[in-house]
Amino acid sequence: MMKSDIIIIGAGPGGYETAIYAARNGLSVTIFENRKPGGTCLNEGCIPTKCFCRNAEILDGIKDSAEYGVNDMAYTFDFGQVIERKNRIVAGLIEGVEFLLKNKLITFVKEAASLIDAHSVRSVSGEIYSCDHLIIATGSVSKNLPIPGNNLPGVLTSKEILDIEKVPENLCVIGAGVIGLEFASVFNSFGSKVTVLEYAKEILPNFDADISKRLKQALGKKGIEIVNSAAVEEIRENADRLSVKYGYKGENREVVADTVLMAVGRAANVESLNLDVAGIVYSSKGIVTDDNMETNISRVYAIGDVNGKCMLAHAATFQGRKVIDHILGKENTIRLDIIPSAVFTRPEAAMVGCTEDECKQQGRVYRSKKAMFRANGKALSMGEPEGICKIIADEDGVIIGCHMLGPHTADIIQEISALINRRTTVDELSSMIHAHPTLSEIVQECAREF
């Protein structure tokens, strides 16, 4: 039996980053992964989709070239090269992760593992490993609507569509969350006619309503049809295409498409872990943990998507860091209630902190102000005036939330995230010098509205 200070099951961002941080602090780690390291984020999520987003940005620039005096441009679009470039970038990053795991304190076992008890596991090959502390970081898997036809050829998940052979003429996306909207935006730029069906009344239900509504309008202007309050009931074969049947306000409707993307969320990956044998409590949302990511079993932790708290790669990374600090008894200042998130549509959407609806539900006293990108010189010079910045402050003027739609807001939101962490007021932000002309001036202009 091999013994280490820590066993980590799963080598996604939460798993491998935690292993590296633990080793830097002198802890021995055994980490298990039966797929390529990097998890969903690197292999079939964040990174490959951002590669697609860059291709979409280039294509949109070419289409708008006449606006910038570049006329009569002719081009061809080789989708095979798009896939090849994506694969090359992902492979390079996987190689980088594998290099980082080549640490004398880290044993990387390229197999799956299941629990024997709370502090020992068995690999697929039958080897037994034990530890003082166990961290489960197995991530999540794509959900699938339990409807007839959900497994027909041409019905894809976010993993499979990344390796599709050609751009579909008609794409139907089921689900208007982050994943669904990013692919809808990308394939719209690639030339697909895109229809999005969403059961909820609004897109991006976790985002501020002002941002969701404006993003829906912006995507509509690009030709993406988004149908809210759409209850998808069945997918049928229709000659060589697919027919998606759905109900809408008492009517029976359908969308005919070459490809259907099932983007209805993700579920904690707890299958095959054998959690019951260790007595670990879990639900349909994931493994239950406390604020230190510790389960009901002492010295057993769950981080990342598998605990269902926040399904973002950077959340998993910092949850893992919090676990290691807890194990070491180190002081930790990580604010897991302040996690920025972004949607890489065109235009981008980003948020951090409280939404206005959350403030109302909590009975919290707040003020909110807005500033528009159409008054930002850099945005106008870029030809991207579509967008808004909305800041929410408490009764003392302390910033508690920010919600943005517009160019590069995924990058700009980090400034507000840092300021919220330091309990900065809108008055303080309004007096902080920003370079001109920059997109980030939008947050200062918004603060000055208070």
The answer to whether residue 352 is domain-embedded is yes
Q: Are 390 and 369 in contact (CB under 8 A)?
A: yes
Tell me how many helices (H) and strands (E) the chain has.
Answer: 13, 24
**What average pLDDT score do residues 167-183 get?**
97
The answer, yes or no, to whether residue 348 has pLDDT greater than 90, is yes
Can you give the pLDDT at residue 71?
92
**Residue pLDDT, tens place only, 225-235:** 999 999 999 99
| pLDDT at 61 (0 to 100) | 93
Q: Please check whether residue 150 lies inside any domain of the structure.
A: no
pLDDT at position 80: 96
- Whether 181 and 119 share a structural domain: no
CA atoms within 13 A on the CB side of 291: 6
Average pLDDT over residues 310-320: 97
- The answer to whether residues 211 and 286 belong to one domain is no
In angstroms, the CA 335 to CA 342 distance is 18
Same domain for 121 and 17? Answer: yes
What is the structure's pLDDT at 42?
Answer: 94
Task: Name which residue leads in pLDDT, 410 or 73.
Answer: 410
Rounded to an integer, what distance in angstroms lies between the CA atom of residue 407 and that of residue 15? 32
Band (pLDDT 50/70/90 cuts) for residue 448 is: very high
CA distance 308 to 138: 11
- End of a domain among 264, 297, 313? 264
Any idea what the CATH number is for the domain that residue 20 is in? 3.50.50.60
Whether 171 is in a domain gets the answer yes
Share of the chain above pLDDT 90, in %: 97
CATH of the domain at 363: 3.30.390.30
Residue 190 confidence (pLDDT) above 90 = yes
Q: Which two tokens stand for residue 95?
A: 């190689």
Task: Give residue 186's pLDDT.
Answer: 98
User: Which residues are catalytically annotated?
Assistant: 436
Domain count of the chain? 3
Would you say 131 and 255 are in contact if contact means Cβ atoms under 8 Å apart?
no
Contacts of 330 (CB under 8 A, 6+ apart): none
> Does residue 48 register a pLDDT over 90?
yes
Cα separation of 113 and 298, whole Å? 20
Residue in 426, 428, 431, 433 with CA at minimum distance from that of residue 447: 426
Range of the domain at 60: 2-142+267-328
Same-domain check for residues 182 and 88: no
Do both 278 and 132 map to the same domain?
Answer: yes
State yes or no: pLDDT of 284 exceeds 90: no
Percent residues over pLDDT 70 in the chain: 100
Confirm if 332 and 325 have CB atoms less than 8 A apart: yes
- Judgement on whether residues 238 and 297 belong to the same structural domain of the protein: no
What mean pLDDT is predicted for residues 86-96? 97
Please indicate, yes or no, whether residues 178 and 115 belong to a single structural domain of this protein: no
Structure tokens that stand for 156 in this block? 């894809």
Report the Cα 92 to chain-centroid distance in Å. 21
Residues 314 and 250 in one domain: no
Do the Cβ atoms of 51 and 89 come closer than 8 Å?
A: yes
User: What pLDDT is stored for residue 73 in this prediction?
Assistant: 87
Distance of CA 41 to the CA centre of its chain: 8
Helix (H, G, I), strand (E, B) or coil at 40: helix
Q: What string of H, E and C letters represents the secondary structure of 129-197?
A: EEEEEEEECCCEEECCCCCCCCCCCCEECCCHHHHCCCCCCEEEEECCCHHHHHHHHHHHHHCCEEEEE
In tens, the pLDDT along 131-156 reads 999 999 999 999 999 999 999 999 99
Claim to verify: residue 281 and residue 309 sit in the same structural domain: yes
Domain termination residue (choose one: 247, 264, 281): 264
34-38 mean pLDDT: 94
* Alpha-carbon distance values, 182 to 296, 331, 344, 399 (Å): 37, 38, 6, 28
**For residue 93, is it within any domain?**
yes
Q: Do 258 and 273 sit in the same domain of this protein? A: no
Interatomic CA distance for residues 263 and 173, integer angstroms: 7
Tokens 């000659």 belong to residue = 239
Record the tokens describing residue 359, joined without a space: 């403030």
Q: What's residue 1's pLDDT? A: 80
Strands 230-238 and 241-248 turn out to be antiparallel
pLDDT value for 401? 98
